[in-house]
Structures are given as C-alpha cells and as structure tokens.
C-alpha cells in the first residue's frame, strides 16, 4: 500500500507537470524527463528494498566522509544556477548532491543513535551527533542552500526525539540552538552565507507592501489567486487561467500545489494531501513494525523528511510561511529530489520486508 500510494503521487505529479508547462518551450521536456527519473527511481526502490538495510550501518562512516567531500568539491566546482552552486553538470543532466545527502544523514544518524541508544542522556553523545550533522550541513549552507540546511537540522531533531531524548532535554537544545542562531545571524549575513534575496523573502512575508503586485511578492500573490479561484472542484485539468496563461511562475516545481488547487480545487488538493498523510502514516507504521532500533530510526527519518518538506511547500503556497524553494515530495519537478525521496521509500520498504513476509 505504501508503494502504491507513492506511485499514485508520482503519476499525478508527472501529469500535473505536463499541464503546468503550459506551452513553455524551455520546459517542454520537463514531464518526459520527470517520467524517466520516475522509472529510474522505482528501479532504485526495488534495488534498495532487495538490499538488507543493515548493510548501510556497516558503511555509514565512509558514506558520511564521501558525502562531505562531494559537497565540499561542489562548493568550488559546481555549476552555478540561480545564484548558488548546487548542481554538478554531467553534460546530460544536472545532479544535486544535497538531495542525496538528506538520505545519507538519515542513515548515518540512525546508525549513530542506535549504537548509543542507552546513552541519550549524555550531553557528549548529543554534541557529537550535532557535529556529525553540521559536517554535512555547513557545505550545503555555503552553496547557499538554506532550505535544505533546515531540512538537515529537522532530520537531526526528529531522530534525536525518536531515539529517546527526553522532551525537556530536546527543548533545551532548541533554546540553545535558537540563541546561537540569533547571535550568529549578523555574521552569517556579513559573510553572505545568508544572502540578500533570502532576507528579502522574510521581510516580504512579515511586512508585505499591500500596494505591491509585482517584484518580490508577485508569485505569492499569483499563488493565492490560483488557489482561491480553484474553488471547490477547480477549473479543470489544463484550464487553470493563472497556470495556462503563465501568470504563476515556477508552477511545475515550487508552486505546483497552487497549480493543482486551481485546476482541481479544494477537493482535489485535499485528496492529494490525504495521500501524503497516508504515505507518512505507512512510514511511521514501518518504524513501529521494525525489529530493531536502526530500522525504526530509518523509517522515522524518512517520514519526518517527507512530512516537513510537504508541510513547508504547502505552507509557502498558502502564504503561511516565507518562500523557501523546497519542492513538494513526489509531485514537484526535480530529478534529484524525486530519486532521493524514492530512495528513502526503498529503505522503508527494506525495513518492512525484513520484519515479516510482504502483505498483499
């Protein structure tokens, strides 16, 4: 049922991307490329499911070191797009290593917390887990890619809690992290780790110009118009005015939820969200079914990653939080994002498979 729900979301995503292109010549092949990535992704799911997930525990340290090296090299040699160096250009496709880094972080932290599950009250253990997370996150932050960096920290917090850290200790770490971020924020801005356009997004969210209809808040306004005009059942597939007339930008990626809302309405988007919730529930169920802590933490980590990214993407589309650039898992255009998320689903399936025989 988990794989079926994921397949439904992926198929819907490809279909929605095809509509969202709306005759844009530059993006004309996006749906076909997404289909190719989807086929490759489901091959990855099957291959990952076939591999005993305990194998990843034995190579967690080499994976951590290799990921850090790749991201460090990318910072200097990556192909710069949209003002950041996030992609390797292979000449055929662009690869975004930070997407795979999220899965690597889940595996590494799951292994670390499993080995120290009886020491979760020891501050040194927590500090080491933080340093492990930072060893990857810092390179992503320097790209700069603030949104993915936040996802990495959310994965750390989620696995800390799932590994058995007491709530009061978790709250202490949240407060300490908030204080450190507040103190270091001016320095991060000065060093251009946090750039002007990111600050502008926060400013526009907190205090938007009510008379502005262009510039920085243009697409947020178009997203709100798209969602509102969808009403209960939408304007029909391929007939959304803001989508088909290209008023809504980045509609096949960051704002695909708004495009969905205009063409399928409140009922359609509600169905999509329910399928998302079902996927997250099945991942949490896999964690509960797991025969060991390592498998449970893998499934919890994947569930937290999907839930957070989905929540943020939908929140941005509804103007409930600042624009971040996080895609809607399984649905938005993006080969690296789709492959990494399907890799996570393959890991969850591997956990389920080694608990008992598959259910049909």
The ranges assigned to domains in the chain are 2-353
The count of other CB atoms within 10 Å of the CB of residue 324 is 19
Higher pLDDT, 357 or 221: 221
Q: Helix, strand, or coil here: 302?
A: helix
Residue listed under structure tokens 């306004």 = 221
| CA–CA separation, 295 and 178 (whole Å) | 30
In the chain, the DSSP E strands lie at 79-81, 84-89, 94-95
Q: Could you check whether the bond before residue 144 is cis, i.e. omega within 30 degrees of 0?
A: yes
pLDDT digits (tens, 9 = 90+) for 197-212: 666 777 777 777 666 6
Residue listed under structure tokens 């997404």 = 34
pLDDT digits (tens, 9 = 90+) for 98-109: 889 999 999 999
Handedness of CA 340, 348, 354, 133 (dihedral sign): positive
| CA–CA separation, 248 and 332 (whole Å) | 15
In Å, how far from its chain's centre is CA 120?
A: 27
φ, ψ for residue 332, nearest 5 deg? -65, 155
pLDDT digits (tens, 9 = 90+) for 162-184: 998 877 777 887 788 778 777 87
Alpha helices in 290-328 (DSSP H): 293-317
Cα–Cα–Cα angle for 312, 314, 319, nearest 5°? 90
Judge contact between 182 and 299, C-beta under 8 A. no
| CA–CA separation, 268 and 262 (whole Å) | 9
Structure tokens at 319: 């103007």
Judge contact between 326 and 313, C-beta under 8 A. yes
| CA–CA separation, 16 and 259 (whole Å) | 8
Q: In the chain, how many H helices and how many E strands?
A: 14, 3
User: Quick check: 117 pLDDT over 60?
Assistant: yes
Among 117-131, 307-321, 327-341, name the one with the lowest average pLDDT. Answer: 117-131
* For residues 257-262, average pLDDT: 95
Q: Helix, strand, or coil here: 79?
A: strand
Cα–Cα–Cα angle for 125, 128, 131, nearest 5°? 155
Would you place residue 193 in the very low, low, confident or very high pLDDT band (cuts 50, 70, 90)? low
Phi-psi region of 3 (alpha: psi -120 to 50; beta: other; left: phi over 0): alpha
pLDDT of amino acid 173: 74
pLDDT of amino acid 280: 97
Instruction: Quote the pTM value.
Output: 0.88
SS3 readout for 246-298: CCCCCCCCCCHHHHHHHHHHHHHHHHHHHHHHHHHHHHHHHHHHCCCHHHHHH
Judge contact between 55 and 48, C-beta under 8 A. no
Cα–Cα–Cα angle for 159, 164, 166, nearest 5°? 110
Percentage of the chain surpassing pLDDT 90? 53
């Amino acid at each position: 049922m988990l794989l079926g729900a994921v397949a439904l979301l992926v198929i819907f995503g490809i279909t929605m991307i095809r509509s969202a292109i709306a005759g844009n010549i530059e993006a004309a092949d996006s749906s076909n490329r997404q289909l190719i990535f989807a086929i490759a992704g489901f091959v990855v799911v099957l291959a990952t499911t076939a591999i005993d997930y305990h194998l990843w525990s034995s190579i967690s340290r080499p994976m951590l070191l290799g990921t850090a090296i790749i991201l460090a090299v990318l910072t200097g040699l990556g192909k710069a797009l949209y003002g950041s160096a996030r992609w390797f250009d292979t000449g055929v496709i662009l690869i975004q290593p930070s997407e795979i880094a999220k899965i690597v972080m889940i595996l590494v932290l799951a292994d670390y917390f499993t080995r120290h599950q009886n020491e979760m009250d020891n501050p040194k253990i927590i500090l080491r887990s933080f340093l492990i997370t930072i060893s990857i996150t810092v390179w992503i932050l320097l790209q700069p890619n603030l949104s993915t960096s936040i996802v990495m920290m959310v994965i750390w917090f989620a696995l800390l809690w799932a590994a058995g850290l007491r709530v009061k200790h978790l709250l202490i770490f949240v407060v300490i992290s908030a204080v450190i971020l507040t103190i270091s924020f001016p320095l991060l801005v000065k060093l251009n780790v946090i750039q002007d356009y990111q600050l502008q997004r926060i400013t526009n969210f907190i205090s938007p110009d009510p008379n502005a209809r262009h510039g920085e808040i243009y697409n947020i306004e178009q997203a709100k118009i798209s969602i509102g005009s969808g009403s209960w059942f939408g304007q029909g597939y391929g007939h959304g005015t803001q989508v088909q007339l290209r008023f809504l930008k980045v509609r096949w990626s960051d704002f695909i939820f708004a495009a969905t809302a205009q063409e399928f309405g409140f009922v359609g988007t509600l169905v999509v969200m329910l399928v998302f919730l079902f996927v997250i529930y099945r991942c949490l169920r896999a964690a509960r079914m797991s025969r060991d802590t390592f498998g449970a933490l893998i499934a919890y980590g994947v569930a937290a990653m999907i839930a957070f990214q989905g929540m943020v993407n939908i929140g941005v589309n509804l103007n409930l939080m600042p624009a971040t650039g996080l895609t809607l898992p399984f649905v938005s255009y993006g080969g690296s994002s789709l492959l990494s998320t399907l890799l996570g689903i393959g890991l969850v399936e591997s956990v389920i498979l080694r608990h008992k025989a598959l259910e049909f």
